[in-house]
Amino acid sequence: MFIEVYTRETLGIVALCWLRSEAISCRRITCVLLRGLLVNPSAPDYALENFLHTCNPEQILQKIRQILTNPAITVDPTQVAVELVAADAFVNIAHPSAPKYHEMRLEADVAFTLRNQLRSVEDADRKWAVANAAAPIINNIVNAATNPASALVELVTHCDFLPVATESLLLCAARPDSYASAWFRVFKMTIHIAQCHDVTCRVRATPDEISTLRKHFTLLFIPTLNDFDSLISKTAFSEGLNLPGVTNKKKQKTEDDITKESAALWQSVLSWRALGTTLGLHEEAERGDRDKTGYHENRFCWWAKCDTKSLEAEETYKRCSGCHAVTYCSADHQKKDWKEGSHRDICSILQNA
């Protein structure tokens, strides 16, 4: 791309088009220009500064809010994705102006907008589109803050952020196409903040900040593990058994597709359990005396060849004592899944989270 396109006048025109365009066709063209101008690795350092000369932080915030609340966010996902890539470029951690967005609490506004959308929107695809769009912006702003740990704790205590992040992680687990979601970066950042002991690290949290994170996380730890249990059971039921229509679909999938689909689910489970371990939570202790036996009602046998057909079966199921993530109707089926199924590898990954 020629250097002439990075002049203040050219970038100003694109900025105004991005801010004010309503027609889908115009927005699509503008988004392509934005991606080329701002996300292109060959863009000079002053390109973003020139763009921001016309497009100030308040206007960017309004535009991001407009994108996240747009009912058509799932109608043209390619256009929306490109537009959010451009918006994400404005809060890139590498840019000198990035801390300004934390100062104006842009991440809090995005978190509130996401929370309201998750509460009011019923369509699952739209929920996921909003959550997936908000994640990189929140992640970048917190990372770019002068004190990331303090910024994260502020989100948790004042913006109801942890329930929002938890619901978003569950959305990731339920969608095979979410294996590259920025929510995994958000949880990785949170784990780093909570476990870092390097006094020179800029993200290291204080004992009080860790205590605050643990207090809020503890309330969600077991309920979310139960949600993951339910999701894992449904996955076993729909993918592991020879149900009508499932076998043919599975034959059409490549090995790479199957790997990516399972990665989304297990990466979500691993992120949640890893954060719990980092904050010093243990499932058995948190569940209390009621669950010390390891038996739970209304679970589902993870062994793919089990002939149990109903998720609502009244039998009790024994949880794997290694990873605590899957259940079986009998010790025999647990042994078969270990020897002939996929659980040996999954169990090892989860135990080493």
> Looking at residue 115, what is its pLDDT?
93
CA dist 31 and 36 (Å) reads 9
Low-confidence stretches of the chain (pLDDT beneath 50): 1, 240-251, 289-290, 292-298, 309-314, 353
Q: What 3 state SS string does 255-273 have?
A: HHHHHHHHHHHHHHHHHHH
- Residue 83 near residue 100, CB atoms below 8 Å: no
Give the Cβ contact number of residue 161 at 10 Å: 24
For residue range 297-308, what is the model confidence (pLDDT) as tens digits? Answer: 445 677 767 766
- Residue 296 near residue 322, CB atoms below 8 Å: no
pTM of the predicted protein model: 0.73
Nearest to residue 128, comparing CAs of 65, 176, 61? 176
- 279: which residues sit within 8 A by CB, 6+ positions away? 194, 210, 213, 214, 217, 218
Name the one residue in this structure whose structure tokens are 């747009």: 70
In a domain, 24, yes or no: yes
**Partners of 297 in the beta sheet?**
316
Q: Helix (H, G, I), strand (E, B), or coil: what is residue 79?
A: helix
Number of domains in the chain: 2
Domain limits at 322? 290-351
In a domain, 172, yes or no: no
Region of 262 please: left (phi>0), alpha (psi -120 to 50) or beta. alpha
CA distances from 199 to 59, 92, 196, 204, 205 (A): 38, 25, 8, 7, 10
Nearest to residue 108, comparing CAs of 48, 170, 157? 157
In a domain, 66, yes or no: yes
Among 60, 90, 120, residue at a domain's last position: 90
In a domain, 23, yes or no: yes
CA dist 177 and 199 (Å) reads 38
Among 64, 90, 116, residue at a domain's last position: 90
CA dist 5 and 347 (Å) reads 53
- 155: which residues sit within 8 A by CB, 6+ positions away? 107, 108, 111, 138, 142, 161
In a domain, 314, yes or no: yes
CA dist 135 and 154 (Å) reads 17
Nearest to residue 318, comparing CAs of 337, 343, 299? 299
In a domain, 35, yes or no: yes
Q: Helix (H, G, I), strand (E, B), or coil: what is residue 135?
A: helix
> Looking at residue 301, what is its pLDDT?
74
Among 90, 109, 137, residue at a domain's last position: 90
> Which residues of 27-167 form beta strands (DSSP E)?
none
Count helices and strands (H / E) in the chain: 17, 3
Q: Helix (H, G, I), strand (E, B), or coil: what is residue 319?
A: strand
> Looking at residue 241, what is its pLDDT?
41
Burial class (CB in 10 A: 0-12, 13-18, 19+), 70: middle
In a domain, 250, yes or no: no
CA dist 242 and 263 (Å) reads 22
CA dist 163 and 153 (Å) reads 13
Structure token pair of residue 318 = 């024994």
- Residue 103 near residue 153, CB atoms below 8 Å: no
In a domain, 122, yes or no: no
